[in-house]
Amino acid sequence: MTTTTDAAAAATPAAGEAGEPVLSVRDMRVWYGTERGPVRAVDGVSFDVRPGETLGLVGESGCGKSTLGRGVLGLTPPGSAVDGEVLLRGTNLVEQSPKQLQKLRGPELGLIFQEPMTRLNPLMKISEQFEETLRTHEKGLSKQEIRERSLEALRGMGIPPSRYESYPHEFSGGMRQRIMIALALVLRPAFVVADEPTTALDVLVEAQIIKILADLRKNFDTALVLITHNLGIVAEACDRVAVMYAGHIVEQGDSREVFANPQHPYTKELLRSTISLSTTGLHYIPGSPPDLGNPPEGCRFHPRCPVAMRGCATAEPPEVQLRSGVRSTCWHQAIEVDPSLADELGTDGREPLAAVKEISVADEA
């Protein structure tokens, strides 16, 4: 790993590596220091994103999706720590200084936020916010060049040039989100995290934004991580999907394959919980995601898992790759792939956990 490569050198892509991942994350961990001790919001996550590829990141609130996205850009709040490898074309971002990360954010790494109403500085005209961004990263641009580049980015988002000198409060939420996106993309970053970019918007604007993001990878080969609650968006807009639960990626693979044939019990439950026209009753997963300051032993999903085995409560499941290419982190698939792994579950480890749980609940009562 060329982790010592300086940031500027890494910024120039070598020819003929279109299939190589833009971003490779290996065993990434993010801790938040709290009064109760460290909270592992992201705990050993690995994934790749290739040029022009969109990876959907789904999971319940509080499972570490946003932390993961911010961790990649080095934007976790004070009092947190990032560990592991985040390789941007071979450069480990975790080892970069704040100054080097700042230089990469914008031209290499982009972040699109959820709340469009508050993400633009209310005191600065749209033009000033573009000028500031372009000037910071491309010194020596003339005023005319800055104007042209900004207007081009805005036009791509459907914002007319006549609005260039306006203030943020003069735009609607959907327009502000498109301006935000234009601002994040004006430098054409190779890798972009979009953190629930459509959650606060109505369905028509949502469709617009998704279309814009889809065009982006088509036109500029941008690698995109799309964080969302909306499984419909993932099915429609993402090549691959990663399902997160309690700081882990529990299942990842081709999004069609995962949706058609979910493997991990959490993915199955999540998909059962979506609402469509054919939904007759509401399904939900009982309980709530665990406290990440004190996560359950074994598989983190076992207290809510409908098919949990006794061994799931004590032994942490390994990630296995299935024949379809999908990778899952569940004992059921692990044993299927490699029956010898069953030994790790103990003698009666494959007995269903449910019966045991009922007794313990009765004891407590």
Partner 1 sequence: MSKQSGSLRRYVLTRIALAVPMVFILLVLVFVMMRVAPGDPIAASQGGKLSAAELAARRHAAGFDRPLYLQFWEYLKSVGTLNFGTTFSDNLSVRDVIIQRGGATLSLSLGALIVATIIGVPVGLLAGRFRDRGIDVAGRLFAIITYAAPAFVLGLLAQLAFGPNGLNVLPSSGQASLLVGLDVPTTTHILILDAAIAGDWSAVGDIAQHLVLPSVTLGLIIVGVFIRMIRVNVIQSLQGDYVEAARARGIKETSVVTRHAFRNALVPVVTVLGLQVAMLLGGSVLTEKTFNWPGIGQALITYINARDYAAVQGIVTVFALVVVVISMLIDFVNALIDPRVRY
Among 20, 48, 85, 115, indicate the residue that binds partner 1 (CB under 8 A).
Answer: 115
Shorter beta-carbon distance to partner 1: residue 189 or 262 = 189
Site for partner 1 (CB under 8 A): which residue of 132, 148, 152, 202?
A: 132
Q: Does 127 bind partner 1 (CB under 8 A)?
A: no
Q: How far apart are CA 18 and CA 222, in angstroms?
A: 11
Q: Which of residues 165-224 bind partner 1 (CB under 8 A)?
A: 165, 167, 169, 180, 183-184
87 binds partner 1 (CB under 8 A): no
CB of 194 to partner 1, least distance (A): 12
| Inter-residue contact 60 to 273 (CB < 8 Å) | no
- Candidates 26, 119, 147, 163; binder of partner 1 (CB under 8 A) is 119
Q: Under the criterion CB under 8 A, does residue 122 sit at the interface with partner 1?
A: yes
Per rule CB under 8 A, is residue 88 in the interface with partner 1? no
Indicate whether 298 belongs to the interface with partner 1 (CB under 8 A): no
Give the integer Cα–Cα distance in Å for 198 and 207. 9
Q: What is the DSSP string of 56-119?
A: EEE--TTSSHHHHHHHHTT-PPTTEEEEEEEEETTEEGGGS-HHHHHHHBTTTEEEE-S-GGGS
Per DSSP, the three-state class of 173 is helix
The gap from C-alpha 105 to its chain's centroid, in whole angstroms, comes to 17
Distance CA 125, CA 118 (A): 14
For residues 305 and 282, what is the distance between their CA atoms, to the nearest angstrom? Answer: 18
Integer Cα distance of 162 and 153 in angstroms? 14
How far is C-alpha 39 from the geometric centre of its chain's CA atoms?
19
Task: Identify which of residues 137 and 350 has a Cβ nearer to partner 1 in the complex.
Answer: 137
Residue 109 CB, nearest distance to partner 1 (Å)?
Answer: 8
Least CB distance from residue 67 to partner 1, whole Å?
A: 13
- Count the site residues for partner 1 by CB under 8 A: 31
Task: Please name every residue paired with 89 in a beta bridge, in sequence order, or none if there are none.
Answer: none
133: contact with partner 1 by CB under 8 A: yes
Minimal distance, residue 87 CB to partner 1, in Å: 19
* Binding footprint of partner 1 on the chain (CB under 8 A): 73, 75, 98, 102-107, 109-111, 113, 115, 118-124, 132-133, 136-137, 165, 167, 169, 180, 183-184
